[in-house]
Amino acid sequence: MLRTNVVGSTGSGDHLLVLIHGYGADEYDLAALGPVLDPAGRCFTVCPRGPIDIEPYGGAAWYDRDEQGVIEPASLQRSLLALDQLVETATRERNIDRAKTVIIGFSQGGAMALALSLRDTTTPRPVAVACLSGMLQTPDWLAYAWDREDWAGPTEGFPAVYVQHGIHDPMVTIDRGRRTRDVLASHGVVAQYHEYPMQHEIRPESILDLRAWLDAVLTAA
């Protein structure tokens, strides 16, 4: 079970918003974004902590990598299962339709958000997913929905996708954000995509665009 910062909601909270932190951060890192992105309180917000503690520096991660950046498969799969269970439990306890979930992740958390939302699964997909300064991880062993023989592009119930990235990001370079956009598009998943003159961070202008996107998603839902 993942350690979780339950931010909650000051409004109806009839959607679930999951904010997934990046490498080296924790379950409190993105908590302040909840009320900023959703001032009307339409979402019940939770912020999980990655299951891998980073020693001796503190913070957490979602998966292990070697020095060449190759992902250790079992670690990512365990985190996907744990996040899936988190969403299932949170929606059940709050009596929220699982299809009214929004998943937003930063950096490594963005990779987790995309994998959780777009993988080949029988569970209901979230209504929307956002990847902030992150990347789409596509190892051969990770099955996305578009790998199915019957895949024919976005269908009813497929999440809205939002990707934003800093042009001057020294940690997850801009080419990885553009690759994420392009790979998604090659499979028929057209993401709303934004670039900003920033580094590996979230700036006020990027938050405003993300909030506008989320508001549109929630209004349409």
Give the CATH number, domain containing residue 43.
3.40.50.1820
Neighbours of 188 (CB within 10 A): 13
Structure token pair of residue 180: 């994420």
E-strand spans in the chain?
4-8, 15-20, 43-48, 52-53, 60-61, 101-106, 128-132, 160-166, 192-196
pTM, rounded to two decimals: 0.96
Count structural domains, the chain: 1
Per the structure, the complete domain to which residue 84 belongs is given by 4-220
Tell me the per-residue pLDDT of 153-198, one tens digit each, with 9 for 90 and over: 555 567 999 999 999 999 999 999 999 999 999 998 999 999 999 9
96-127 pLDDT tens trace: 999 999 999 999 999 999 999 999 998 999 99
Strand (E) or helix (H) holding 68: none
Please identify which residue in the block is written with the tokens 């339409």: 42
